Amino acid sequence: MTKKLKRFTSTLVLVIIVAITAIFGYPSFSGFVTELSNEKIEEPDYSVEIQTVLGGVPIGGTALENSLSYSNSDNFLLVYDGRADFTQEEISDAAQSYEHYSDLDYLDRPGPAMASLSFDTLPQSKRTDISKIHPAGWIQKSYSFIDQGYLYNRSHLIAFKLSGENDNVKNLMTGTYWFNHTGMDPFEDIALDSIYTTQGHVLYRVTPIYQGENLIASGVRMEAFSIEDMGESANFDVFVPNKQEHVVIDYKTGDSYSDYKSN
């Protein structure tokens, strides 16, 4: 197309637009704007956000109770959408601080521990030695590739830094070094930070998940909900696996061996 023809075509289009505007007026976009403003704005997918930021993988229903399948790259799994699912009654009761620990079962395994955490429950003294306590499945072994050398820790269901409970056998389970220091710790810190931020309460529950009569828990379900700000500073529901890289654990007995292969 020649330059003259292009100019003629552009001029013709402009003339047509001006003519239409003169006859009918400017087109109205009000209907379009109204339609957009009435359109429902969907909330962001919380589970996707948690997966992206913290690396969680969704899990729920029978998967939580039965399969508990995870890879070594999974630091935790989301339970359903990752948000706490306490009842309204449980939330109401959390206005006052308390701690509750289940009795050991017939295999000497601890059960769910639940508390309304606050400044009232934080430790008032330093931790004391608990090396004489051997939770169910305690078959300790040392491995050179684990920090501090030993596979197992005496893991508190509700951390000492949250509850002040140190040698309570109802609050202690056999957990790996990774589970105790890397798996649970970040979520415990969220609860602790919330207490200091709100000067209030955090409803908190930790449930060991066992398969059959295994002495070692496959992991724990951790739930937390900050009361005074209605979940703004703490709101999670996750499964943290009880694992250790390069160690194969017999969850039925607590025995273990290394599958570590040096280069």
Instruction: For residue range 67-95, list pLDDT tens digits in order.
Output: 344 445 568 888 877 889 899 999 999 99
Looking at the chain, the whole-number percentage of residues with pLDDT higher than 70 is 71
Of 171 and 58, more confident: 171
**Is the model's pTM score more than 0.95?**
no
What lies within 8 Å, CB to CB, of 94 at 6+ separation is: 86, 116, 201, 202, 203, 225, 227
* Site of tokens 């025995």: 255
CA-CA distances (angstroms) from residue 157 to 9, 79, 163? 78, 18, 10
Cα of first residue to Cα of last residue in the chain, in angstroms, is 69
Reduce the secondary structure of the chain to three states and give it as a string. CCHHHHHHHHHHHHHHHHHHHHHHCCCCCHHHHHHHHHCCCCCCCHHHHHHHHHCCEEECCHHHHHHCCCCCCCCCEEECCCCCCCCHHHHHHCCCCEEEECCCCCCCCCCCEEEEECCCCCCCCCCCCCCCCCCCCCCCCECCCCCCCECEEEEECCCHHHHCCCCCHHHEEEEEHHHHHHHCHHHHHHHHHHHHHHCCCEEEEEEEECCCCCCCCCEEEEEEEECCCCCCCCEEEEEEECCCCCEEECCCCCCEEECCCCC
Write the single-letter amino acid at 189.
Answer: D
CA-wise closest residue to 134 among 173, 166, 179: 173
How much is the mean pLDDT over the chain? 79
pLDDT at 32 exceeding the cut of 50: no
What's the topology of domain 83-258? Extracellular Endonuclease; Chain A (3.40.570)
- Domain assignments of the chain as residue spans, ordered by start: 3-38, 83-258
Give 63 or 253, the one with higher predicted confidence: 253
- Sequence-distant (6+) residues with CB within 8 A of 22 are none
Are the CB atoms for 153 and 196 separated by under 8 Å? no
**By mean pLDDT, which of 29-38, 168-177, 179-188, 203-212 is the weakest?**
29-38
For residue 74, the model assigns a pLDDT of 65
pLDDT winner (highest mean) among 16-20, 23-27, 72-76:
72-76
Whole-number Å distance between alpha carbons of 190 and 186: 6
Rounded distance, CA 244 to CA 258, Å?
10
Which segment of 5-9, 87-91, 219-223, 251-255 scores lowest on mean pLDDT? 5-9
